[in-house]
Amino acid sequence: MKKLLFAIIIAVIGYQFFTKEQVAAPDLPQTIPLETFAISSGDLVLVNRDTQLQQDPTNLAQIPTDIAANVVVDSKFMLENQVMQPLQQLFEAAQQDDIHHFIINSAYRSGQLQQQLFEENGAAYALPSGFSEHQTGLSLDIGSTAGKMENTAEGKWLEQNAPKFGFILRYPKHKVDVTDINYEPWHFRYVGLPHSVTMQEKDFALEEYISYLKKEQSYTTKVNDTTYFVQYTTNSTTVNIPNTSIFNVSGDNQNGYIITSIIEE
C-alpha cells in the first residue's frame, strides 16, 4: 500500500512539473506572404558539404576596425550588416569579463576566393566554392593573440557565451560525425536569437537544429525576458503567425522557411 501511495505521489508531482514546464503556443491570427523571401537566404541557411549556397549575401558591410577595444580587425573583413551589432555586444561583454586578446582572422569570402583557397590548399583545409559558410557573410574565424583558441581564455569564453548573442560554435569537437568537419574552435556562425540559445541547451549542431524544426514545426521560448515563437513551414506562399509587428523569415537553403516572431506583451 505504501509503495502504491508513493508511486501515486511521484506521478502527481511529475505531472505537475511537466505541465508547469509547457509553454502554450500563441494564437496565429496574422497571415503574411512568403513570396518575397527566398529559401536560399537568411540567418538560418544551412551550408555544408552536401548543401550548396544558392545565393550570395546582399547586405555586406565592413567590420569596423574599432568595433571593440579587445579585438584586432583587418579593414578588409566584411559580414552581413545584421551581424555587426550582436558581434560588438559579444566583444564588449567579453571585455567586461576581462577577456582581451581577440583577433578576427577571416570573415566573408567571395566564391572566387573560396575556390582559390580550395585549389591551393586542398579539401583538408578548405571547401570548394559554394559549400563554405564563409560565403554566407554570417561566419567568421575568431582567434586569440595569446595562443591557440582551444587553449585560451578567449576560446573558452566564446564557446560558453557566444550563444547569448546569437552565435554558435559551428564545428564542435563532439559533432564531427554530424558536420563532417573537423573541430574548429575558431569558427563562429551567426544564427540569431533564440536559435543559438536553443541549440546550446539541446546540444545541437545546425544540421540537427534544422531537423528538429522540421519535426517539431514550432516551439515557444523565452530568452532575456523576450518571448519568441519559432515556426517551420514548407509552404512557399503564406504562413499564419502571432499578432506581432516583429518577426524574421529565413530560408533553410533546403525546402522550407523558419519564421521567428517576438510575442509582444
**Pair (58, 180) in one structural domain:** yes
Q: Is residue 121 part of a domain?
A: yes
Q: Tell me: do 225 and 257 sit in the same domain.
A: yes
Per the structure, the complete domain to which residue 232 belongs is given by 25-44+204-265
Please, which residues have CB within 8 angstroms of residue 222's CB and are 6 or more apart in sequence? 23, 228
94 and 170 both lie in a single domain? yes
Of the candidates 137, 99, 129, which has an alpha carbon nearest to the alpha carbon of residue 113? Answer: 129
Spatial separation of the C-alpha atoms in residues 232 and 246, rounded to whole Å: 17
User: Average model confidence (pLDDT) for the chain?
Assistant: 90
pLDDT at 119: 86
Q: Which of 34, 49, 45 is nearest to 254 (CA)?
A: 45
Question: Looking at residue 61, which CATH number applies to its domain?
Answer: 3.30.1380.10
Q: State residue 13's pLDDT score.
A: 36
Is there a catalytic annotation at residue 184? yes
- Residue 195 domain flag: no
Residue 145 CB coordination number (10 Å): 12
- Does residue 16 register a pLDDT over 80? no
Q: Are residues 168 and 81 both part of a single domain?
A: yes
| Closest residue by Cα to residue 197 from 155, 178, 225 | 225
Quote the distance between the C-alpha of residue 205 and its chain's center.
Answer: 9
Higher pLDDT, 3 or 169: 169
Query: Which amino acid is residue 81, in one-letter code?
Result: N
Full-model pTM: 0.89
Read off the pLDDT of residues 153-166 as tens digits, 9 standing for 90 and up. Answer: 999 999 999 999 99
For residues 74 and 185, state if they share a domain: yes
87-138 pLDDT, tens digit each = 999 999 999 999 999 999 999 998 888 888 888 887 777 888 889 999 999 9
Spatial separation of the C-alpha atoms in residues 195 and 229, rounded to whole Å = 11
Q: How confident is the model at residue 5 (pLDDT cuts 50, 70, 90)?
A: very low
Distance (Å, whole) CA 158 – CA 167: 9
What is the DSSP pairing of strand 218-223 with strand 226-233?
A: antiparallel
Catalytic residue among 80, 119, 154, 184: 184
pLDDT band for 208, please (50, 70, 90 cuts): very high
